[in-house]
Structure 1
Amino acid sequence: MRRVIAAWLAALALLTAPAMAKDLAPGRAVFVTLGTGGGPLTRVKRSEPANALVVNGAVYLFDAGDGAQRQLAAASLSVHAVRAVFVSHHHIDHNGGLAPLLVTRWLLNERAPLPVIGPPGMTAMVDGIAVAYRATELAPIAIGGPSMPAIRTTLAPEELAATIDAPALVYQDANIRVLAITNDHYHFSPGSAAAVAARSYAFRIETAGRTIVYTGDSGPSAHLQTLAAGCDLLVSEVIDMHAMEAVLARANDIPPAARAPMMAHMAQDHLTPENVARLAAAADAKRVVLTHLSPGMDDETSTAGYTSGMAAIFHGPVSVANDLDRF
């Protein structure tokens, strides 16, 4: 039995060992769109939002929706290589894959505390994951041998300031500097708990060779323009309002009374193609990549709705990302 367990652990380590793709040369920063579907929907063609920046073999995650760990494997990237995780906001399509990723990392003997950086509530979420998986800590995977440490000791959550009105440094190592700013993804009811606790952020990632800005989820925002100024790559969410309205109209699980408020959120708290184009032009971005495609359904036959009207405003290259694309 001991040999079987040892072989199983060895196989796990092999499967998750760093497998560098040919285009990830040392020193080059590559942005991988692991999941490009917007919203908490289970699709075949598009996984939930997740992105990986790869620099010198190190992986930095920007959002971790459901399926993020599998998408890492599909991209030939290793859990062992993850150096930090950045969560833009606490909607479930952006943090739903966090727990499996963090617990698997612990199981695979990664002991260095992993920075998990995100909005207020990040520490409570990480603490909650550790508590929820206490039963997993206690479930033996070997006969004898050293004991496993607590999951929580392998994690280092950090909470961003509730309000960041100018780009602020939130992380730095030998490969990257990350700056954050609050964006405009929420409308609050006055006096609500959400008005006190819920925040959403965009990130600017600076490497030796290029600068990448990730909008997270946001409506039109002066903060985004400030953050994106002069960037080499603007990775932006996008929504096709006509397609979204059609999807909601045929959604039997959404009460009619809920559709108008939901469409108001879509219109004000997300970015249309024209919004993205104006942002890119004003920020003098060199290139745009569109992700978090909403609705991003499996039966879509064209992505033209996600770029409609952009060419008249922004004259640089625009790409509609698919899962596992590299930029």
Structure 2
Amino acid sequence: MEKGMKILWMMAAAMVTAAVPPAVLAADVAPAAAFVTLGTGGGPVIRRERAEPANAVVVGDSVYLFDVGAGTERQMVAAGLSMHKVKAVFVSHHHIDHNADLGQILASRWMFNSYQPLPVIGPPGTARMVADLVAAARTVELAPIGGGPGGKPPLASTVKAADLDAEMDEPAEIYRDANLRVLAVTNTHYHFPPGSPQAAFSRSYAFRIETPGRVYVFTGDTGPSKNVERLARGADVLVSEVINLDSMVGILKRAPDLKPAMLPSMIRHMEQNHLTPVEIGKLATAAGVKEVVLTHLAPGEDGERDLSGYVRGIQPAFMGPVRIASDLQRF
């Protein structure tokens, strides 16, 4: 996998300390790891109670971001996480609710003097998107910044973007450093006809994050997927998106602009491109995970107090612990 090897080489070149494979680090002496759900709302709707999708894996004081929807930087502050400690950013797919804060994060690091090149890894188009964000911030670079002798380095020098391979059916390592390693597969969030312009560029990924003491698998947005099942085998925690289909159908039926004839195709889209509780239960059991954490709640509306629709159906397929995440929780 030539592109994958290129990513690994680039990550190694950007590191300031030698990488140590996580397997070499004994769990009893390794920094404690946590998966922080910075934003748990599903979709691009801005809410009061749930921020847009964003997550952080924290190992010691090092931070790794997995999706960066709108408000990610503010949620990091609320979680007590420093932008200066971010070691890498991983984007699961290029829907706006998963990448909206990327430009803000890059500019903020530069503004506050974090110049170590930041790996940004995501679907095809990520490198171009980062280049475009850097170009869009050129006016910011040229604006006067008070204090201190000497100038700041170019924003472009503080980021290293890389595209994942378009097809990754088997788990493949895409990043490794002294704290963790990350593997990825393509998932089934997209179902565009082969040969269409959308099919050429639309890719979505799930990530496996292996720390010395715990293994997390983050599904990203996906429908039922054998690739994700393989990726999740034996994981300690499956962090999964979830859709309450009944609630979503109710919302669609109330939508003034939706013609009734469109409803069946919309339901089919949601069933294929997202995970219902029943499918999450099947996935968790087939993969042999120990625990399930639900995030990216759809619809995840403000004022939603009855959350049973997000878990109903996970049992009896999966009888292990299931938790519904709120913003800023740690797992």
Measure how far apart 1:256 and its partner are.
5.8
Q: Please say if 1:81 is aligned against 2:92.
A: no
Q: Please say if 1:64 is aligned against 2:54.
A: no
- Cα distance in 2 between the residues matched to 1:276 and 1:101: 32
Q: In the alignment, which of 160, 170, 174 is matched to residue 170 of structure 1? A: 174
Cα–Cα, structure 1 residues 191 and 297, in superposed 2: closer, same or farther, change >3 Å? Answer: same
Runs of 5+ unmatched residues, structure 2: 1-28
Identity value in percent: 55
Measure how far apart 1:252 and its partner are.
3.8
- Cα distance in 2 between the residues matched to 1:241 and 1:260: 12
Measure how far apart 1:210 and its partner are.
0.9
- Cα distance in 2 between the residues matched to 1:116 and 1:250: 39
The residue aligned with 2:228 is 224
- Cα distance in 1 between the residues matched to 2:300 and 2:209: 26
Equivalenced residues, count = 303
TM-score, with length taken from structure 2: 0.88
Q: In the alignment, which of 15, 27, 32 is matched to residue 31 of structure 2? A: 27
Cα deviation, 1:181-206, whole Å, max 9, x if unaligned, reads 11111011342211111111000011
Measure how far apart 1:249 and its partner are.
2.1
The CA RMSD measured in Å over matched residues stands at: 1.5
- Cα distance in 2 between the residues matched to 1:308 and 1:41: 24
Q: In the alignment, which of 240, 244, 259 is matched to residue 240 of structure 1? A: 244
Letter in 2 for 1:50: A
Equivalent residue runs for 1:140-179 within 5 Å = 140-142=144-146, 145-179=149-183
Q: With CA pairs under 8 Å and 6+ residues apart, which has the higher RCO, 1 or 2? A: 2
Measure how far apart 1:259 and its partner are.
4.7
Runs of 5+ unmatched residues, structure 1: 1-24
Cα–Cα, structure 1 residues 138 and 261, in superposed 2: closer, same or farther, change >3 Å? Answer: farther
Cα–Cα, structure 1 residues 232 and 143, in superposed 2: closer, same or farther, change >3 Å? Answer: closer
Cα deviation, 1:132-182, whole Å, max 9, x if unaligned, reads 111101111216721122111100001100001110000000000000011
Q: Helix, strand or coil for the counterpart of 2:220?
A: coil
Q: In the alignment, which of 293, 307, 310 is matched to residue 297 of structure 2? A: 293
Measure how far apart 1:66 and its partner are.
0.6
The residue aligned with 2:273 is 269
Q: Helix, strand or coil for the counterpart of 1:83?
A: strand
Cα–Cα, structure 1 residues 136 and 219, in superposed 2: closer, same or farther, change >3 Å? Answer: same
Equivalent residue runs for 1:1-327 within 5 Å = 27-142=31-146, 145-252=149-256, 259-327=263-331
Cα deviation, 1:258-286, whole Å, max 9, x if unaligned, reads 55443322111100001001100111100
- Cα distance in 1 between the residues matched to 2:282 and 2:97: 26
TM-score, with length taken from structure 1: 0.90
Q: Helix, strand or coil for the counterpart of 1:237?
A: strand
